[in-house]
Structure 1
Amino acid sequence: MKVKIPRGTQDILPDQVKTWQFIEEKIRLLMEKYRYEEIRTPIFEHTEVFARGVGDTTDIVQKEMYSFQDRGGRDLTLRPEGTASVVRSFVENKLFGAPNQPLKLFYIGPMFRYERPQSGRYRQFVQFGVEVLGSSDPAIDVEVITLAMNIYKATGLKNVKLVINSLGDRESRMAHRQALVDHFRPNIHEFCTDCQKRLDTNPLRILDCKVDRNHPLMSSAPSILDYLSDFSKSYFEKVCKYLDDLHIPYTIDPTLVRGLDYYNHTTFEIMSSNEGFGAITSLCGGGRYNGLVEQFGGPETPGIGFALSIERLIAALEAEGIQLDSEDHLDVYIVALGDEARDLSVVLLDEMRSAGLSADRDYVGRKLKGQLKAADRQQANYVVIIGEDEIARRKAVVKNMETSNQTEVDLQHLIDYLKETVSN
């Protein structure tokens, strides 16, 4: 029977993994500079975690989650996003009592959503995200946004744009909610069934509808910015001021609502502005979610974060034609000719690796020419050649693959010679 990979998933092959590792390393270096610590949560949680955290009215909860019952009859779900799990862990482990506040966390790992696969979007995808819990300072909003922008900068991406909005506090959202209901209700029958349901449950989500996004009522819908309370307006102005101070260009889009129920105040997306990227331009999204910790039984704790798909980042790099410098050079390749030389190469290989060198040898019985070609394919910096004559004289030939220069070295000094030569 021929078995194929499930639809919406992908194999990341060894030559592709190097690109992933390069990106992950860039991200981890940034996390060290910004003093964010890694947190690892389970791949599956009780379904209630996402129903409560993400929101019952969201497409994720209603349509996209991989949910199942285990043998004990418990309702479980493969995580579709990271924030709800992090907040659950924050409350359960009482991290709100940690001495260093706010708590700055990051995560990276697979997420699962049942949605239509398309370029750069999969049903299993790897998401990187950060969460800052314990600060309501607009400066931390800007730090989080800047961090997201710097990830794309670190990987070489150039054609990106930042879009921001404010969803305001509860007072602002309630006033705006009523205005949206009054605006859409007379013609709600012209909208999709999802939007008709959203009118009474979460009318803000109508603005995020992909089906009816070109409906005339969308462009004339009341703007949240006209309903911001004095506090919310002042908060958003401060966020914009800090972005201006840092010379980070941005566009304010009052229709930017994001797809999750927990957002309030600052929301943002980073999009690709490359013409060849495709119709779906979003690369990263996030915002503030004050009140979410309380929903999980924790104390009043403000929070903000973002998440990005590594697959979408790689697709954007490909669209811009950016080649990452992720080549993996080999320090030494041993070319062994004859049984005695092959036996010796087993010991030498182990000694080289123990000395901190990356080293390899032939395992399929190639001739001299074939072994040299194998060394070249692995981009070896040096080749050590050992044959019957070399063994008899207790020597080895060391060849520089870039210059083709060759040097004879005593076997007893070979490892020290290689350590010194490779380090130079």
Structure 2
Amino acid sequence: MPSPFRSLRHPNYRRYFLGQIVSFTGSWMQSAALMWLLYDRTGDVRWPSYLLVAQVGPTLLLGTWAGHLADRWPKRDLIVRTQAAFLVNAVVLAVLVAGGWAAPLLVLALQLLNGVIQAVDLPTRLAFVPDLVPREDLINAVGLNAMLFNSGRAVGPAATGLLFLLAAEVAPHVGRLSAVELGAVGCFALNAVSFLAVLLALRRIEIPGLPADHVRPPPGSMWDGVRYLAGRRRLGGLVVLTFVLCAFAWPVLTLFPGYTRTQLGLAEESYSFLVSALGGGALLGALACATYGTPARRGAFLVCGAAAAAAGLIGLAAATSLTVAVGWAGCVGGGLILFLSTGQSAVQLAVPDDVRGRVMAVWAMTLSASAPAGHLLAGQLADAVGVAAVFEGMALGCILVACALLVVLLKGFEPREGVKG
């Protein structure tokens, strides 16, 4: 049986992996705390959707420019700067909440600034992975990247729930902050500290042949990534289906606060368990991709991922207890990440180095474009017809993606490396 961790034998990737897993855990703590903080303050199920759109929206607007930047400048140096900016943003957020100055609109503005930083950080990190491992380990490294991201998704919200429980005990003795505010401040502060791990790891990574002051010549238009995918029917179609799946499935994350309170009748610590279950399932999906992912299995993995996400959403719509809902949330997460890890590895293997940053920026923009289309619409519909009905509609969209992929697979129409459609 192939080793799921074989990419860790490469020192540069190992350092990157260890630093990122700490950072992602802190980031998911902050994300879960932010969503509950604003939902607690406003009582409006739409606010978590606003936060998520503010986080990913700038990638949609700035993605082509950021991809061009990643192809022109040293990726490691860019990532050092973006991670340092994330650290500063987390510190400012903690200070504002602790001081009682964090009005919802101000928090939304800080989240928007965070999204601008992420617009540069995400495509650069995606394009950086092939510099850390040889080509034969790239599928494994992409799977491990998804695994470490979703390890943070699983551990971070669970830690947030524990901090909220601790804050509920401590808040009556520490002054004017509520339990939710105190827990949120702790999450933001720990997130700021977590970025030190990735900054230390990046300082120790050395890419042969690329001195620290290396600057590449301008590599053509920033729209070359779009043109590359448009000229390759298989890869372009995969990116379109990825958009559709994300638009229908990922809104489950921002609907969890309202779902927890309205359908399950529970409080914030239970919400964090649902987010952690989503991350735990995603972790298993990433591990499956890292261990068993091969070009020959791509089609089957893509179909199974979309189908599992649909089944999980149907199960969530019918669930009335936390235990059952946790299981179905894990199913959604596992299916989504099995699909996304497989799709991303297909794109990474097909793309030449000189346009990698711009193509991966298109991939990041695809994920970001699904946010306005999915999260905002889902939030509005949930406010009108209820969360369970929205989950059922989202499941139908995932089923359509699985059916489209199944037709493609039965025709033997599979994305192949470097082949034009």
- Structure with more contact order per residue of length (Cα contacts < 8 Å, sep ≥ 6): 2
Between Structure 1 and Structure 2, which shows a larger proportion of helix residues? Answer: 2
Normalising by the smaller structure, the TM-score range is under 0.3
- What is the TM-score normalised by the length of structure 2? 0.20
TM-score by length of 1: 0.20
Q: Which structure would you say has the larger Rg?
A: 1
